[in-house]
Amino acid sequence: MKEFSVLKEAALEGGRILAAKFGKVGYRLKGRANLLTEADLASQKAVISVIKRAFPEDGFMAEESPVESSPNGRLWIIDPLDGTTNYAHSFPAAAVSVAFAERGSVRAGAVYDPFRREFFTAQKGKGAFLDGRRLKVSRVPSLSRALLVTGFAYDRAEKAEFYCGFFAEFMKLSHDVRRMGAASLDFCWLAAGRTDGYWEFGLKPWDVAAGGLVVSEAGGMVTDFSGKPWSVGESMGTQTLATNGRLHPAMLRIIRRRLRRQA
């Protein structure tokens, strides 16, 4: 699959730029807690350039530019720097995320962590891999034995109590809850069995497309809070739950119950 080869090349090129600029760039604000660095823009330019050389007629959905649609039904979904706040503060938890979708279905995805030099990849129906090693989600059967992960949307100052309510509830039921600040890595670490469940509000397609495929191909589940599978072209990122599959029913019940209480 040529698209998969190009996707991997593009993600690695973006990661090379992030590594080279790490600790050397300032930032500006797109919102109170929404940062943008020179590295975001440079990585995105490089990623798109690699893809356009191979597929000049395709469409693009990238975080730092307007959507470029294409009548051919092919779409590249790009987060050139996932974890910008971490990166801007020289906190080494960030990644490049690139996915390829065709007719609304994500066919391939890659997430590259340039700090650990870990390269997560997946193709639809062909499995998920970390540096060539096949990935499988954990077999943890219950929340009482789980390590969970979450993240907070950009409106976290205004809705801090709302988000922290979910955090507190899951913290009481699990071994613990982590908050890394890079959704693509949250997905991939779940796929690798390092964590067992992950929930977040307010994600965008570029946050979910590649990492979500990695989870699915590693045997996990990715849905919204009603249990509907994530798909391109829908506003699914407003509610995202990813698990090893075994924890999905319990986490859905808890999230739905809390949503009803806080409505």
Listing DSSP states for 80-125 in one string gives: EEETHHHHHTT-S--EEEEEEEETTEEEEEEEEETTTTEEEEEETT
> What confidence category does residue 237 fall into, taking pLDDT thresholds of 50, 70 and 90?
low
- Measure the N-to-C terminal CA separation of the chain; round to a whole number of Å: 46
| Average pLDDT over every residue of 19-37 | 86
The fold adopted by the segment(s) 143-262 is D-Maltodextrin-Binding Protein; domain 2 (3.40.190)
Lowest mean pLDDT segment, chosen from 16-20, 41-45, 46-50, 157-161:
157-161
> What confidence category does residue 235 fall into, taking pLDDT thresholds of 50, 70 and 90?
low
204 burial via Cβ count (<10 Å: 0-12, 13-18, 19+): middle
pLDDT of residue 28: 84
Q: What interhelical angle do 205-217 and 183-191 show, nearest 10?
A: 0
- DSSP type of residue 175: S
| Average pLDDT over every residue of 59-68 | 92
| Alpha carbon distance 76, 232 (integer Å) | 11
The CA distances from residue 192 to 9, 109, 213, 230, in Å, are 22, 15, 13, 20
| Alpha carbon distance 205, 69 (integer Å) | 15
| Average pLDDT over every residue of 13-39 | 89
**CATH code matching the domain that covers 2-134, chosen among 3.20.20.70, 2.40.240.10, 3.30.540.10, 1.10.10.10:** 3.30.540.10
| Alpha carbon distance 41, 37 (integer Å) | 7
> What confidence category does residue 236 fall into, taking pLDDT thresholds of 50, 70 and 90?
low
Domain borders along the chain are 2-134, 143-262
Indicate if 143-262 has the same CATH topology as 2-134. no
pLDDT of residue 233: 67
| Average pLDDT over every residue of 28-37 | 80
